[in-house]
Amino acid sequence: MTNGEKVWIAENGQKSGPFLEEDVRRWMAEGRYGPDTLAWRKGMPEWVPLYSLFPESAATPPSPPPPKATASAPAVFAAEDRPGATYSYDERAPAPAFSRAEYAPHDDYDSDTANRRDLPAPPSLHWGLVLLFTILTFGIFAIVWPFIQANWVRKIDGDSKATMMLAGALGCLFVGEVFSAGNRGSLLGGLLTLAYLVLWLVAYFSMADSIKRKLADYSLPVEIGGVTLFFFNTYYLQGQLSWISRWKNTGSSNPKAPKGVFYLLFIIPFMLAILAAIAIPSYQQYVKRAHAIEAQQGE
């Protein structure tokens, strides 16, 4: 076992940890654990006696524990690497009978699993469905869904201002349309529309920054491309959220979040537009020649 690896301890019907190896060795030397204490670390198939995990520590008889103080509180060892509530050790009492199967390691003792379970569930609707619902609702869904995304970001980052910026962006768009209704060349209307675009993009880049910073605390590196986010903000970010949701539920980060597919969605309409720009004039020339031939034949 290498120095720095974490160890879980099972004693007196309770499990706690993970603890640093150096701390466990020190506590063994102080006589805080008996021969009936079980230990486990990641990668082991089952719990084993603590002194078999550290045989060199078992060779030296532990010194007797200090006498119990009448007014002192029970000794507490904080499991800082373990999220959630910590565990404590009281003065050792006779260990109850138990089986090793009772303490068989499982996902509850995997710190990565615990981290994933602590993460609020992201909105997991597939980005393709977001696009489809946007088309079916004539764009209304694309107005509502960003606020759902921003609400989840606020859960992981209480300082996020994305919701406020999205609301400000829509306010600018609405007021700009009102000013431009009677005058399409309105300078104020154009400035408000520009403010809408800026606030909308800033909100999405703010959400992306919060996601990258906060998910790093869960040991999940999130890569969000700025160019892709600029052009496909709602749908690209939703692809990232669906990927995070899959990682939360399964622990798997593969395959990666979609990215290239959005450029395909952009390129296909662009290519169709180019083909249409070439084909439509050619078709119009063909129709004109056909009419001219028919006119000559009629004469």
Whether the upstream peptide bond of residue 255 has omega within 30° of 0, thus cis, is yes
Helix then strand count (H, E) for the chain reads: 11, 4
Q: What are the residues facing 40 on neighbouring strands?
A: 8
Q: Which two tokens stand for residue 8?
A: 């879980």
Residue 183, pLDDT score: 75
Does pTM top 0.85 for this prediction? no
Residue 9, pLDDT score: 87
Element (H, E) at 134: helix 127-136
Residue 299, pLDDT score: 64
Q: Which two tokens stand for residue 2?
A: 């290498």
d(CA 53, CA 28) in angstroms, rounded, equals 12
Q: How buried is 281 (Cβ within 10 angstroms: 0-12 exposed, 13-18 middle, 19+ buried)?
A: exposed
Element (H, E) at 268: helix 260-298
For residue 74, the 8-state DSSP code is P
Neighbours of 29 (CB within 10 A): 13
Give 110's pLDDT tier (boundaries 50, 70, 90): low
Residue 66, pLDDT score: 53
Residue 257, pLDDT score: 92
**Residue predicted with more confidence, 12 or 189:** 189
Residue 119, pLDDT score: 93
Taking Cα atoms as reference points, which of 164, 128, 130 lies closest to residue 145? 130
Q: In the chain, what are the domain boundaries?
A: 6-117, 119-258, 267-299
d(CA 137, CA 117) in angstroms, rounded, equals 34
Which letter, b or e, does each residue of 181-216 get, where b requires 16 or more Cβ atoms within 10 Å of its Cβ?
eeeeebeebeebbebbeebbebbbbbbbebbeebbe
Q: Are 162 and 207 in contact (CB under 8 A)?
A: yes
Residue 111, pLDDT score: 55
Is the pLDDT at 71 greater than 50? The verdict is: no
d(CA 204, CA 216) in angstroms, rounded, equals 18
Q: Which two tokens stand for residue 273?
A: 């537009």
Percentage of residues in the chain having pLDDT higher than 90: 38
In the three-class reduction of DSSP (H, G, I as helix; E, B as strand; rest coil), residue 156 is classed as helix
Q: Which two tokens stand for residue 58?
A: 């078992």
d(CA 194, CA 165) in angstroms, rounded, equals 14
- Measure CA 225 to chain center: 15
Residue 112, pLDDT score: 63
Taking Cα atoms as reference points, which of 57, 52, 44 lies closest to residue 17? 44
Kindly report the average pLDDT of the chain as a whole number: 80
Residue 243 CB-half CA count within 13 A: 20
Is the pLDDT at 73 greater than 80? The verdict is: no
Q: How buried is 39 (Cβ within 10 angstroms: 0-12 exposed, 13-18 middle, 19+ buried)?
A: buried
Give 156's pLDDT tier (boundaries 50, 70, 90): very high
Taking Cα atoms as reference points, which of 149, 20, 39 lies closest to residue 81? 20
